[in-house]
Structure 1
């Protein structure tokens, strides 16, 4: 009798009981996943947006930092608004425009087509091979650094330079600077944006190419190494604009960048004040 009682109480679940338990577990699982999924998706989306924001902010900050070194009136944007180019200023100073009280010194003579050197007034300057001398760049025909009328190749390089020599250009610089200012610039820098739907585009920095009268947007991709640097992927849209005012000393560059990834998109806009008075 004891043996039968023990066997009777040790029996397992019936098939019906197992099915009911499975059904209840499934219902509870669906209910839990419904409530948990939304916060998890929100967390993932937030992380993706933060990553896109950081990437766009870093790219725009780098562009802004470099654009602030642009030679006055050297910023130019192509017709599509996706390429922006400028000449970076490496050094600047004032040239001697008149002889000293003792009738000495080497002036920059705008009336002479054979004058090719001058004294630097104030702090000494630095120039490296390949740098160019620019005087009173207006960005207009006849006084444009890109076409060469306000630019000459330096023949003097080094550090702590108190005088500068430059190659003759057939004619002297077109205009004297009202403040006797000059700039020393390096080779051009361009930022090129190639937007694609869904964030498949990119933003790149190009450098190391020669100064050209026409903006070389179609040949920039041939640059390699450090002269062709990826700033960010995920580019879905972008636009660059340059606005100069005749009544102010500064011009404004507006940079707009849209990044997209995983269905999430962010758009950042940054305005950069660049010097507009040569």
Structure 2
């Protein structure tokens, strides 16, 4: 009679297999963790890059559409803000009350394709921000006035008035308030609008919460301002230099972007 032998694994073999499998699992998991970490970090960097490109492009487009000589910049330890009046419409005027002519409450203009409504203000030949940013605009003479009514090509104002100076190209601009972009010390970039027109450039706290446009800005506002502005002259356009520096996951990148604001008379 033949005896059958039992086949199986010894304890030593099982322990050896467990040790080998453990080493393989540790190696594979380390590889997976490293790959996941690289993916997460690269995704974060890509997100900040996309976000920064968006805010720079958005600022560029809006600044290029800014009313000539409406740009002003204010800096503090908490924020640096650039404020301007976007042009809503523009066209030529036919006849308007302009000094030294007598003041009247109406004039004739060529209508812009964008149209004019009663929330708009008319501007002629602005030469400085001080002539535009007024809590209580002059009711009789100035460079910016509220529009009361528009009938055909006839425009009416709230009272008899006259503009300070004629445009060399007989051009008028239509605006509807101011817009600000602020670089905050905590690293945010915010856009503000709908806060009205104020003589003194408002701070972020005076303009509400604003819209978050970007994050991770690490400029030192005291020594490395992200905005540099060179006003326009009779022969040169205004220039806004944007140099925000972003940092994410230990990686730093900085923009050097220049925006020209055409000084159209």
TM-score for both structures, normalised by structure 1: 0.76
1:13 is aligned to 10
1:102 is aligned to none
CA contact (8 A) 1:88 1:188 kept: yes
State the Cα distance separating 1:46 from its structure 2 match. 2.0
2:2 is aligned to 2
Cα distance in structure 1, aligned partners of 2:10 and 2:243: 66
Aligned CA distance change for structure 1 residues 79 and 234 (closer, same or farther; 3 Å):
closer
1:57 is aligned to 53
Aligned CA distance change for structure 1 residues 123 and 232 (closer, same or farther; 3 Å):
closer
Structure 2 residue 213 is the aligned partner of structure 1 residue 231: yes
State the Cα distance separating 1:163 from its structure 2 match. 2.5
CA contact (8 A) 1:113 1:168 kept: no
Cα distance in structure 2, aligned partners of 1:60 and 1:125: 26
Taking only aligned residues, the RMSD between alpha carbons, in angstroms, comes to 3.0
After TM superposition, the structure 1 stretch with the greater mean CA deviation from structure 2, 49-58 or 78-87, is: 78-87
Cα distance in structure 1, aligned partners of 2:206 and 2:60: 20
The correspondence for 1:163, drawn from 151, 154, 160, is 154
CA contact (8 A) 1:93 1:125 kept: no
**What stretches of structure 2 of length at least 5 have no aligned partner?**
220-224
CA contact (8 A) 2:69 2:128 kept: yes
CA contact (8 A) 1:52 1:266 kept: no
Cα distance in structure 1, aligned partners of 2:10 and 2:120: 89
Q: Secondary structure at the match of 1:56?
A: helix
Q: Deviations over 1:32-91 (max 9, x none)?
A: 556665554433322221111111112222222222221001011112462111111111
Cα distance in structure 1, aligned partners of 2:113 and 2:13: 93
Cα distance in structure 1, aligned partners of 2:96 and 2:74: 38
The correspondence for 1:154, drawn from 129, 147, 158, is 147
Cα distance in structure 2, aligned partners of 1:24 and 1:123: 79
State the Cα distance separating 1:239 from its structure 2 match. 1.7
TM-score for both structures, normalised by structure 2: 0.79
2:68 is aligned to 72
Aligned CA distance change for structure 1 residues 202 and 112 (closer, same or farther; 3 Å):
same
- Whichever of the two has the greater Rg, that structure is 1
The correspondence for 1:87, drawn from 60, 85, 88, is 85
Aligned CA distance change for structure 1 residues 124 and 52 (closer, same or farther; 3 Å):
closer
**What stretches of structure 1 of length at least 5 have no aligned partner?**
97-105
Count of aligned positions: 252
CA contact (8 A) 2:193 2:207 kept: no
1:133 is aligned to 122
Structure 2 residue 179 is the aligned partner of structure 1 residue 179: no
State the Cα distance separating 1:203 from its structure 2 match. 2.0
CA contact (8 A) 2:245 2:253 kept: yes
